[in-house]
Amino acid sequence: MCVSTKPKVLVFGSISVDNIWELSRIPRDHEKIDAKAMYTVVGGSGANTASWLSNFGHDVTLIGAVGDDVDSKWIISELESQKIKAKSIKRIKGKTANHAISLISGSTKRIIRQRNIDMKNISWGISELKTLINKVDHVHISSIESKTSEDISNIARSLNKSISIELNGHKMSAQRKNADVLFCNSIELKTIFNISISKLSSAGLAKMIPGFNGNLVVTNGANSVVAVTPHFKITEKVKKWGKIKDRTGAGDSFDAGFLSSWLTNSPENVSKAIKVGMATSASCVMNFGGQAK
DSSP 76-105: HHHHHHTTEE-TTSEE-TT-PPPEEEEEEE
> CA 238 to CA 179: how far, in whole Å?
25
- pTM of the predicted model as reported, rounded to 2 decimal places: 0.94
> CA 14 to CA 144: how far, in whole Å?
7
Domains observed in the chain: 9-285 (3.40.1190.20)
Contact of 139 with 162, CB cutoff 8 Å: yes
Contacts of 1 (CB under 8 A, 6+ apart): none
pLDDT tens for the chain, residues 1 to 293 = 445 589 999 999 999 999 999 999 999 999 999 999 999 999 999 999 999 999 999 999 999 999 999 999 999 999 999 999 999 999 999 999 999 999 999 888 999 999 999 998 898 999 999 999 999 999 999 989 999 999 999 999 999 999 999 999 999 999 999 999 999 999 999 999 999 998 888 888 888 887 667 899 999 988 999 999 988 899 999 987 778 899 899 999 999 999 999 999 876 789 999 999 999 999 999 999 999 98
> CA 216 to CA 25: how far, in whole Å?
37
